[in-house]
Each structure stands twice: as C-alpha cells, then as structure tokens.
Structure 1
C-alpha cells in the first residue's frame, strides 16, 4: 500500500483540537491541493474562506448548530460554490449569464466544492493535521452569507475544521463495498448490507464509548427530524440561483 492510500484509508473525523496554530505553510499547501482538484469546464467554481478569528469562529459555531469543534479548531474553512467570477467573465466577454437559473448549476457548484474539500482534507491529513467536514454551515445560510460578505452567485456549501487532534479515535467502519459499488446497474437489494453494517456500527459505538445504536436508527432519526435542514431554499434565490436572468 502506498502512502496516499494509507492516509485515505486511515481517515478519522476529529471533534477535539489542541490550541496549537496551523502553520501558514501547511495551510497554504492544503489550499493549493484543494485548488488543484478538477472542476467542471475548468470553471473553478469554488471559493474557500478561511476563518481564524476566534469571535467569528464562535459565531459560525453557533450558526452551525452549536458545534463547539467549529469554534475550537484553529482554522475553519468555508467552501463556497462560486459563479460570481463566471458572471464577471460573461460581462467581460459581452455574453449573457443565464446558467444560474438552471438546477444544473447547483449540481456543478456543489460537486466542485465537495471535490475541493476532499482535496484539502486529504492534504491536511497527509500533513499530520486532523479534520472534520461541517454540513451545519447550511443551517443558517442567510447569516453566514452576511457574516462572510458573500456576493451574488456565491453560496456556502460545507465547512472544514482543521487543527492538531486532541483525542484518539477508533476507525469508524463503513458500509460493505458491495453496498456502494454496483456493476452495470443499481442493486436495490440493500437490506442485507444495512443489517450487516448495523452490527459493525454497534461494535464501533460501544468501543468509542458512545450510545450503542444501529446505523439505520441514526439515519432514520436524522431524516425524520430534518425535512428541511436549513434556509437554503430561500437564500439560494437571494444569491441569484434559480431566478430568471435580468432583461
């Protein structure tokens, strides 16, 4: 196994961090890795905002569902899908900018942001840092947009805590490969895989000192409580997505 695969296969999501700062050179390296990731038509539809000010991190932690690790990690990165530059490019070339009204723009932007986040996460772990992605950044996007002064056609997709871990965690098991890798066509016979994974999940939560629960129970509970996770339905329109182009 090579070093990159070893890093990938030994991923952990850390929620406790030492107060040690992240060295500027390491932050630059992982940001460069994120920027090196592929994007649709090389449009580079991603902007990454680094939040290191303690008061601003505290505010984002509260907006993200009171997640203390957001405030305690020395660096918090916000990955945004960004079509603001595409709009400027269109203006520079005298072309109309209409793509934002198409739902495909949301798929492109979210995918590009996710790919960039994965690159940053892999680079951070290879440098001895710990990370945890934060979807809670989408709970109160209107406030996040104001706090980060995001222009039109820019939207926060996910966050990433970065720092030196202050805890030791067992490796969290994943679903069987056969559950997520299908050959030629989709395999709908998933119940057996879920039942097998429930047993693995119970063992993991017991080892980690957590409440012992089935994975299916955790997922069912989350999606029952979250028919609408945040305010994105409104703020996406506010930022120019899904709206009709200007006359």
Structure 2
C-alpha cells in the first residue's frame, strides 16, 4: 500500500483542533492541490474563499448551526460553485452566454468541479498530518452567508472545509459494504441481496456506536437515515439557486 492510498483509507472527520493556525505556505499548497483536480472541459467553475477574520469565522460557526469547529480550527475554506467569472468573460467578449451558464448542465458542472477540488484539498491536508471536516451547515442560512462573503450572482457557497492540527482523533466510521457500492456491468436490483447487504451493514454500525458510546447508543444505519430523511431540510434551496441565476433552464 503506497502513502497516497494509506492517507485516503485512513480518513476520518476531525472536530477538535489545536489552537494553531495554518501557515500561508500550507494554505497555498492545499489550494494548489485543489486546483490540480480534474475540471470539466477546463471550465474551472469554482472558487475557494479562505476565512481568517475571527469575527467572520464566529458568525459562520453560528450560521452553520453553532458548530464550534467552524471557528476553532487552523483555517476555514469555503468552496463555491462559481460561474461569475464566465459571465464576466462573456461580457468582456461582447457575447451573451447566459443561456449556457444558467443551464442545469453548467450548474452540475460547477458543483462537480467544486467537489473534485475540495477532495483534492482534503487529501493534501491529511497527507500533511492535518485533519479535516466538511461543513454542509453553511447552507442552513445561505442568504446570510452570501452577504457575509459578498459573493455575486452566479456564485453559490456550497460547503466549508475546516482544516487544522487534530487535538484528538475518533475511530473511523465503517462504510457501506464494497458489494453494495460497487455494481458491475449493471445496477444490482435484487431486493433480497440489497436487504441482506443493508442488514449486514446495520449490524456493523450498531456495534460501532455501541463500542464508541459504552452501550449508550446502538443506532442502526437504516434507522438513522430514515429518521434524518423524515425531516426535510433546506427546502428553500431551489428558490435560492434560481434567485442567484444558476440552474434556470
């Protein structure tokens, strides 16, 4: 097993960081690695906003659901789907490219580009001995987040990435069975096989939580997911995206 594979397979979310900021060199290395990610048709439809301002970090932590590690970390990155620069290019060239950049396809390209860049950044940070935690909570209050970050139309803050020196590491959460994730030649639709794989995983997750909590928690994954999805969240998202002139057609 080489070092890259070891780093990837050793991933776990870190939510407790030392009070030690990343150096400018570390930040640049992480962002450069993000930029090295694949990008659809070389469109590079994302931007990264690094947050150093203490008050802004505190406000973002509050907007993300009072998650302390949004504030207490080595550096906080926000990954954005960004077609603003492409609109700017079109205007500069005297071309109307609105139909293209406001399409569902280009919206999906921007989402995928940002996610690929972020995962490169995460692996780079972990390879440096740092810990990371993705923060989807910034989408709880996107209007306020956009105002705080002063992002223009055609830019959507998607998620944050808290990076820093781990204060403590938790056990790694077991993932779904390989056979449940990987389908060969066609999608597996045998309900008996599907149910068996999920039952196996439920037992693994229940054991994980039981051990981690000294028996106080015995969640099964399918119950956890059902309970979560029974409570719709961020239902304003379609309206917000359309208001910011992305994904209109």
Aligned to 1:184: 185
Distance in 1, Cα, partners of 2:125 & 2:102: 35
TM alignment of 1:205-244, pairs within 5 A: 205-209=209-213, 211-226=217-232, 228-229=233-234, 231-243=236-248
Distance in 1, Cα, partners of 2:221 & 2:53: 36
TM alignment of 1:71-82, pairs within 5 A: 71-82=71-82
Q: Deviations over 1:60-81 (max 9, x none)?
A: 1111122111111131111000
Distance in 2, Cα, partners of 1:180 & 1:199: 17
Question: Aligned-residue CA RMSD in angstroms?
Answer: 1.4
Distance in 1, Cα, partners of 2:56 & 2:212: 31
Asked if residue 49 in structure 1 is aligned to residue 49 in structure 2, the reply is yes
Aligned to 2:60: 60
Q: Deviations over 1:176-211 (max 9, x none)?
A: 111111011111242211111111111211232272
* 2:200 maps to which of 178, 196, 199: 196
After TM superposition, give the deviation of residue 238 of structure 1 in Å.
2.1
After TM superposition, give the deviation of residue 11 of structure 1 in Å.
0.3
Aligned to 1:94: 94
Change (3 A) 1:170 1:8: same
TM-score of the aligned structures, taking structure 2 as reference length: 0.93
- Structure 1 stretches of 5 or more lacking a match? none
* SS of residue paired to 1:225: coil
Q: Deviations over 1:137-176 (max 9, x none)?
A: 1111111110000011000111101011111211211101
Q: Contact 1:50–1:77 (CA<8 Å) still a contact in 2?
A: yes
Please list every run of at least 4 consecutive aligned residues from structure 1 whose deviation after the TM superposition is greater than 4 angstroms: none
Change (3 A) 1:127 1:230: farther
After TM superposition, give the deviation of residue 23 of structure 1 in Å.
1.9
Aligned to 2:132: 131
Q: How many residues align?
A: 243
Distance in 2, Cα, partners of 1:111 & 1:40: 8
* SS of residue paired to 2:158: strand
After TM superposition, give the deviation of residue 131 of structure 1 in Å.
0.2
Distance in 1, Cα, partners of 2:10 & 2:235: 31
Distance in 2, Cα, partners of 1:66 & 1:231: 20
Aligned to 1:106: 107
TM-score of the aligned structures, taking structure 1 as reference length: 0.94
* SS of residue paired to 2:132: strand
